[in-house]
Amino acid sequence: MDRRSVVKGAGIASVLAAGLAACGKKEDATPVAPAAPVAPAVSTGSEIRWRLASSFPKALDTIYGAAETFAKKVGELSGGKFTITVHAGGELMPAGGVLDGASNGTVEMAHTAPYYFFGKDPTFALDCAIPFGLNSRQMTAWMYQGNGLKLTREFYAKVGIVNFPMGNTGAQMGGWYRKEIKSVADLNGLKFRVGGFGGKVLAKLGTVPQNIPGGEIYTALEKGTIDAAEWVGPYDDLKLGFNKVAPFYYYPGWWEGGPQLSLYVNQKAYEGLSAEYKAIVECAAAFAHTEMQAKYDAKNPAALKTLVGQGVKLRPFPNDVLGAAFKAAQEVYKELNDTNPAWKKIYDDYSAFRRESNLWFRFTEAKFDSFMQSQKL
Ligand code: CA
């Protein structure tokens, strides 16, 4: 190693040390190894080029954008040596094919919403969102400081993937309805486009969940093929114009109180990285994780104002809907606890964390938020 690369290596090491401190993870308490000898297949300073398959279209700039942010940071932190190209859903493989793609090494990385794979195993949803689950901050706390990352990594090891939290939308909206929902009885027979695991609970209330890609929702709502559809929240929903065909906009999206996106890394590819490149992946993912939530929190307020200005009828779900849905969710969880040991192992920890976290959040956070939101500033 010549003098120049030693200096450069030290520079990267100190950037990483600072980055890791910012990550604040328990296991990162040990200092980063200096850029000195690394034996794995890819040594620090080696030029590598990886591909990342996203499950999302480029039009979802906040969600798809998290993968672009990640790739950009990896490039910057590695001095341009570690290059990742990001590919939209359908470009290299179907949006729902990225789990297999990262698992079998067709691509080194994927970015997705793990609850898409609940049909393979509902346990995937615990790495994303379940009805009446953790909110965004709680999810991040469980992953980084609770047992979330450890337990989900054990689960993903079975399919050869190393996972990292990479983005959260925050609590989503409850979707667009052609007719008003006055009580839980109005959900019976409702043909509802809903993403992910929430459909399992809605089905218990008589709702008929529909799986329709984002680009086809508008036409289905317009034609009345479906009665209602949920997507994300004001910023993304406004762009698709659902308010023109379904005037009632409900909240909250109780099936997605804090859905987290995940970065999947093929395990063999990950293990072949130098310690420094592994740290770069970890910190770039943590940066993209924070940035995505910040984008939503910054962009949703103006979008909601615009929608209300266009005559959208904003409605809270009636209490009996929330109550019945909560009860139905507990039934689904009991069935899974009784039949799926992988689910039970993670859900036990997740639900204990949720209980303790809500016990705390109901005091300072909730009181402060509700007071501030009622003030005229
Ligand atoms: Ca959604």
Q: Note whether residue 223 is domain-resident.
A: yes
Provide the percentage of residues in the chain whose pLDDT is more than 90: 85
Q: What is the pLDDT of residue 44?
A: 75
Q: How remote is the CA of residue 165 from the centroid of ligand 1, in Å?
A: 18
164 with 240, same domain?
Answer: no
Q: How remote is the CA of residue 231 from the centroid of ligand 1, in Å?
A: 4
Q: How remote is the CA of residue 337 from the centroid of ligand 1, in Å?
A: 25
CB 254 within 8 A of CB 131: yes
Number of domains in the chain: 2
Rounded Cα distance, 176 and 243, in Å = 7
Q: What is the pLDDT of residue 12?
A: 39
* 257 token code pair: 């109180």
Residue-wise DSSP of 194-218: --TTHHHHHHHTT-EEE---HHHHH
Last residue of a domain, one of 268, 300, 332: 300
Contacts (Cβ under 8 Å, ≥6 apart) of 14: none
Distance, C-alpha 110 to centroid of its chain: 13
Q: How remote is the CA of residue 175 from the centroid of ligand 1, in Å?
A: 8
Tens of pLDDT, residue by residue over 171-190, are 999 999 999 999 999 999 99
Q: What is the pLDDT of residue 254?
A: 97
Q: How remote is the CA of residue 230 from the centroid of ligand 1, in Å?
A: 6
Q: What is the pLDDT of residue 315?
A: 97
81 with 228, same domain?
Answer: no
Phi first, then psi: give them for residue 161, nearest 5 degrees.
-125, 140
Q: How remote is the CA of residue 132 from the centroid of ligand 1, in Å?
A: 14
CB 48 within 8 A of CB 80: no
155 with 80, same domain?
Answer: yes
* 181 token code pair: 């929902």
* 282 token code pair: 């970890």
Average pLDDT over residues 325-342: 98
200 with 61, same domain?
Answer: no
Closest CA to 295 of 70, 86, 61: 61
193 with 329, same domain?
Answer: yes
CATH number of the domain where residue 164 is located: 3.40.190.170
Tens of pLDDT, residue by residue over 53-72, are 999 999 999 999 999 999 99
Is the preceding omega at residue 234 within 30 degrees of 0, hence cis?
A: no
239 with 329, same domain?
Answer: yes
Q: How remote is the CA of residue 129 from the centroid of ligand 1, in Å?
A: 10
Question: Model confidence at 274, in pLDDT bands (50, 70, 90)?
Answer: very high
Q: How remote is the CA of residue 300 from the centroid of ligand 1, in Å?
A: 14
CB 114 within 8 A of CB 127: yes
Q: How remote is the CA of residue 163 from the centroid of ligand 1, in Å?
A: 21
Q: Note whether residue 376 is domain-resident.
A: no
Tens of pLDDT, residue by residue over 184-215, are 999 999 999 998 789 999 999 999 999 887 88
56 with 111, same domain?
Answer: yes
Q: Note whether residue 132 is domain-resident.
A: yes
Tens of pLDDT, residue by residue over 92-141, are 999 999 999 999 999 999 999 999 999 999 999 999 999 999 999 999 99
**Other CB atoms within 10 A of residue 233 CB:** 23
Q: What is the pLDDT of residue 303?
A: 98
36 with 128, same domain?
Answer: yes
Tens of pLDDT, residue by residue over 17-38, are 334 344 444 444 444 444 444 3
CB 269 within 8 A of CB 169: no
Q: What is the pLDDT of residue 195?
A: 80
Q: How remote is the CA of residue 30 from the centroid of ligand 1, in Å?
A: 38
CATH number of the domain where residue 209 is located: 3.40.190.10
Q: What length does the chain have?
A: 377
Positive or negative, the CA dihedral 293, 148, 326, 123 is positive
142 with 272, same domain?
Answer: yes
Domain that holds residue 194: 175-256+308-340
Tens of pLDDT, residue by residue over 204-262, are 999 999 988 788 899 999 999 999 999 999 999 999 999 999 999 999 999 999 999 99
Q: Note whether residue 145 is domain-resident.
A: yes
Distances (CA, A) of 174 to 80, 171, 229, 242, 362: 42, 9, 9, 13, 22
Q: Note whether residue 198 is domain-resident.
A: yes
Q: Note whether residue 84 is domain-resident.
A: yes
Q: What global pTM score does this model have? A: 0.88
Q: How remote is the CA of residue 215 from the centroid of ligand 1, in Å?
A: 14
Average pLDDT, whole number, for the chain?
A: 90
120 with 64, same domain?
Answer: yes
Q: How remote is the CA of residue 172 from the centroid of ligand 1, in Å?
A: 6
Q: How remote is the CA of residue 171 from the centroid of ligand 1, in Å?
A: 9
